[in-house]
Amino acid sequence: MAKILVAEPEAFFSKFYSVKFKKEGYEVDRETDGRKVYENLNKNLYDLLLINLMLPYKDGFTILRDLKNTPNKDIPVIVITELKQEQDCKKAENLGVKHYFVKNEDQIGEILRVVKEEVGKKK
């Protein structure tokens, strides 16, 4: 069973993504704090990271930059964030992110499609 880490500070979205992914048969860990996200990435192996760039204590950009120092250095990353600026998207792309979504609960179908695609590549 594929394992996903959801790094989302807002309880509604964190639970929303978790429930949707579990219904699709994925195992899901959730964190709301950037420090704990980074700790999890050092302790556990994941098949995918879904991350909001606006995390407390350690922001998503820092986690993406430091990801190469974890056992999950080759993990596919999907960003879901409130940051709509072109430079934020470019910065994330430069840090290896291939999928960047501006947060909106109505796009879950597209996010699930991308999750399945990325997890499928790892098999």
Q: Are strands 99-102 and 77-81 parallel, antiparallel or unpaired?
A: parallel
The reported pLDDT for the residue numbered 12 is 92
How many other β-carbons are positioned within 10 Å of the β-carbon of residue 57? 13
Instruction: Kindly give, in sequence order, each residue whose CB lies less than 8 Å from that of residue 117, ignoring residues fewer than 6 positions away.
Output: none
The reported pLDDT for the residue numbered 108 is 84
Q: How far is 99 from 93, CA to CA, in rounded Å?
A: 8
Q: What is the DSSP letter of 106?
A: G
The reported pLDDT for the residue numbered 106 is 59
Sheet holding 27-31, edge to edge: 27-31, 3-7, 48-51, 77-81, 99-102
Where exactly are the structural domains of the chain?
3-121
The reported pLDDT for the residue numbered 123 is 60
Below-70 pLDDT ranges, the chain: 105-106, 122-123
76 within 8 A of 3, measured Cβ to Cβ: no
> Is domain 3-121 given the CATH code 3.40.50.880 in the classification?
no
The reported pLDDT for the residue numbered 105 is 57
Please state whether the predicted TM-score (pTM) of the whole model is above 0.75: yes
